[in-house]
Amino acid sequence: MKKWVREGAVGAGLAIVILAFLSGFDFSFILLPVSMLLLGGLILNGRGGLSPRFNVNAVGNSENSSIPKVTFDDIGGQEVAKREFLEALAFLKESERTSRLGIRPLKGVLLTGPPGTGKTLMAKAAANYTGSVFLAASGSEFVQMYAGVGANRVRQLFKQARSMAEREGKSSAIIFIDEIDVLGAKRGKNVSHMEYDQTLNELLTQIDGIRSEHSVRVLVVGATNRKDLLDPALLRPGRFDRIVQVDLPDKAGRLRILEIHSVNKPLAPEVDLELTAAETTGFSGSHLESLLNEAAISALRDGRERISQTDISEAIEKVMLGEKSNRSIQAEERERVAYHEVGHAIISEHVRPGSVASITITPRNQALGYIRQNPQDDQYLYTKDQLLDSIKVCVAGAVSEELIFGQRSTGAAGDIEQATDLAKRMVFAGLSHLGIVSTELPAGELHDAIVQIIREQEQNVKDFLTNKIELMKSAAKHLLAEESLTGEAFRTMIETCGLSVQISS
C-alpha cells in the first residue's frame, strides 16, 4: 500500500474513533482484544514503544554500496592495533591463500579499549580494506524484556549480512557489534538472565556456523571497554580469536589525529599542532576531534576566517572541563577561589618551573577555577619524588585558603581525593615508609600511611607558602580583576615580586 494511502486511512480511522468517543460511544468491550492484538504485533515485529525497532545500520557512501569510505589512513595513532587487525583480515582479503594453508577462518575480532579511541572507525576501515559490506548494531539493541526477541535479532543480523553481500555481489560481510558486553556478559549474571543467555547462545551458534565454504564469509567485530565482563565462551579460540587493544593515543598519535581532523579546517599560521598534541595527554581521538570542532566554532563566533592558537587553548579547556557556566558567585567565594588557584600555581612552578600554562577563575561545569599545566612528555613511570611533588600541587589550594582565610573549604575535596589516590599508589608501589606491602594490607594501616604522606606534604607546602604571601596577594588581585592569568604573566609576576619559588622542600 502506498504510504500516503496508508497514512490517510489511519488518519480517517482515528478521526472516526475520536468523533465516536466524543458522542459518548462505549469502547470498553473492544479495549482488551485490541490491546492484546497490538501488544502481540509489537512483540512479533520487535518494534514500537516497548520494544524499539531494531536498528541495523548498513553503512555506505554511495547508493549502491554498503562499504564504508573510512580507510586505515583516516585513523591516527593506533599503529600496533592497526597492524594486528590488518593481519587478522588476511583471511577475508586473501581467502584462497589462507585456505590453501589450511588456516581455519577467523570468525571474530574483539576491539577493546577506552571510549572514543577509534574502535568503530577500525571496523569500518576493515570493511573498506576487505571490500566487505558493513552492518553495525549495538549490544543494547538486542536485549529486550521478552524471551526470544534478542536471539531472533541475532539470527536476523547474520541473515541480513549474507543477503546484503549477495545482493551487492560481495564475497564478505563484516558485522560490527558495539557494546558487545551488554549482549555477551557472563551467562547467569543478569536478573532477566534467560533472555540474555538465549541471545548470547544464539550469537555463539551463529559464530560457530560461519564456514569458509560459504559463498559469503562473515567476520564479527565486537567492541567493548569492559572485556572483563565478557562470557569466557565468547573469547575461546574459534570465536573471538583475536583481541586487539585500542588504547588512548600517545603524543605522536595525538598529533596524527589532529592533522587528520584539521585537513578541512583553516588554521592560522601560528597554530602549533605539535604543542596541542603535547598539551592533550589523556585525550582520546574523539576528544581531539571535538577540540578542533570547538576551536572552529569559537573562530566562527568571533567572525574570524581562521582558527587561532587561542581558539585551540580555549577548546582544550572546554573539552577538559566543559562549557563556561554563568553561575553567579559571591565576591567572597570568588576571592577564595582565586587564592586557592594561586596556591596550586605557585607550587606547580616550584616543583616544575615553567609548568603553569594558565590560571583561571572562570567557572566551567563543576569547577569554579583551575590551573592548566604545560605539557610534559607522556610518562608511564613515576618516581617517589615526582609523586610527592604532585601531592604538593594537589594540597596547595587548601593550604593557601587556610593561610589567607584561616580555614579550608569544601572546594578542596577533589584535590584531596587526587592526593589520596597518589599516596595510595605510592604505598602499593613500595614507596612509602612501610616499604613493600602486600595488597592485603589492613585498611587501617593503609589509611594511616596515606594520611602521613599527605600531612607531610601539607606541612612542606605550608612552610613554603608562608613566605609567599606577597606573591599570592598580587596574583590573586590580578586574577580577581582579569579572571585569568597566563603562565608567562604569572612568571613575570614571580620575578617582579623578587621572589624565588625555587627553594628546596
- Which of 391, 398, 407, 376 lies closest to 465, judged by CA? 398
Nearer to ligand ATP, 66 or 117 (CB): 117
In the complex, the smallest distance separating the C-beta of residue 180 from ligand ATP, rounded to whole angstroms, is 11
Cα Dmax for the chain: 91
Nearer to ligand ATP, 82 or 336 (CB): 82
In the complex, the smallest distance separating the C-beta of residue 125 from ligand ATP, rounded to whole angstroms, is 10
In the complex, the smallest distance separating the C-beta of residue 165 from ligand ATP, rounded to whole angstroms, is 23
In the complex, the smallest distance separating the C-beta of residue 254 from ligand ATP, rounded to whole angstroms, is 9
* Residue nearest ligand ATP by beta-carbon distance: 285
Q: Strands (DSSP E) along 99-224, which ranges?
A: 108-112, 133-138, 172-178, 217-224
Nearer to ligand ATP, 118 or 487 (CB): 118
User: Which stretch of DSSP H or E encloses residue 322?
Assistant: none
Residue in this structure with the C-alpha cell 606541612, named with its chain if needed:
459
What cell does 374 get?
Answer: 604545560
User: Which stretch of DSSP H or E encloses residue 402?
Assistant: helix 384-405
Q: Which residues of 447-482 are buried (b: 16+ CB within 10 A; e: fewer)?
A: eebbeebbebbbebbeebbeebeebbebbbebbeee
Nearer to ligand ATP, 113 or 369 (CB): 113
**What type of residue sits at position 76?**
G
Within 8 A by CB and 6+ apart from 4, the residues are none
Nearer to ligand ATP, 123 or 351 (CB): 123
Residue 430 in contact with residue 440, Cβ under 8 Å? Answer: no
Measuring CA to CA, how many Å separate 183 from each of 143, 195, 225, 363?
7, 10, 13, 40
Residue tagged active-site, from 335, 341, 401, 458 = 341
In the complex, the smallest distance separating the C-beta of residue 440 from ligand ATP, rounded to whole angstroms, is 34
DSSP code string of 12-70: HHHHHHHHHHHTT---HHHHHHHHHHHHHHHHHHT-SSSSPPP--EE--SSTT------
- Using CA atoms, how far apart are residues 186 and 60, in angstroms rounded to an integer? 33
Nearer to ligand ATP, 139 or 487 (CB): 139
Chain positions contacting ligand ATP, by CB under 6 A: 75-78, 115-121, 178, 223, 225, 257, 260, 285-286, 289
In the complex, the smallest distance separating the C-beta of residue 270 from ligand ATP, rounded to whole angstroms, is 24
Planar angle of CA 372, 423, 396, nearest 5 degrees: 40
341 is catalytic: yes
Could you give the residue numbers annotated as active site?
341
